[in-house]
Amino acid sequence: MKTVSHLEKIARLQALRQRLDPLQDFALWFWAGMTAGTQAVNAALHQANVTLDDDVFPAQPGVYLVGQADGSLKPCLHPLGDVLHVGRPKVEGPVPPDVAEMMEEMETIEHYRDPCLREGLAPTADIVRICVTALTHCLALLDSRMQKASHGH
């Protein structure tokens, strides 16, 4: 996806999260946050010229849905654009320290994905706090990176 599309999606996901109760609506709240953070990592990777900033959409590692002249999407092999999750696929090449920090924050969040969403671990206020802190820091790092870019730094 294009960087601007990632930023728009983050805003929509954050607005959705504000309408949800983190404990009562944990699964939806968590997925929206994890997706927003992944969008942030992708935007930062594009802005740092580590991955391609283009109008293709990841389906699985290495396979992207590419728009066709008739408006349809066709699966095609394509160089790395967006990651599906941090580490999937692995980003080759140097990653700037702030983006690496964003990826670490996402790993903190994703640590709770399977236990809470698939294995029956009940979400707690502490898990919510950890996830909020990690996502807030991830998004702040993206915001800082985007502001520096807009000011020519």
Average pLDDT, integer, range 104-129 = 97
Task: Say whether pLDDT at 98 is over 80.
Answer: yes
Give long-range contacts, CB 8 A cutoff, 24+ apart: 86-93: 86/38, 86/41, 86/110, 88/61, 89/61, 89/62, 91/45, 91/50, 91/51, 93/50
d(CA 147, CA 82): 21
What are the pLDDT digits (tens) for 54-63? 888 888 878 8
Average pLDDT, integer, range 23-41 = 97
Please tell me the predicted confidence (pLDDT) of residue 82.
87
Please tell me the predicted confidence (pLDDT) of residue 77.
87
Task: Say whether pLDDT at 153 is over 90.
Answer: no
Q: Where in the chain are the domains?
A: 3-53+87-150
pTM equals 0.91
Segment among 86-95, 115-124, 139-148 with least mean pLDDT: 86-95
Task: Say whether pLDDT at 87 is over 90.
Answer: no
What are the pLDDT digits (tens) for 120-135? 999 999 999 999 999 9
- CA dihedral sign of residues 149, 12, 60, 65: negative
Please tell me the predicted confidence (pLDDT) of residue 93.
80
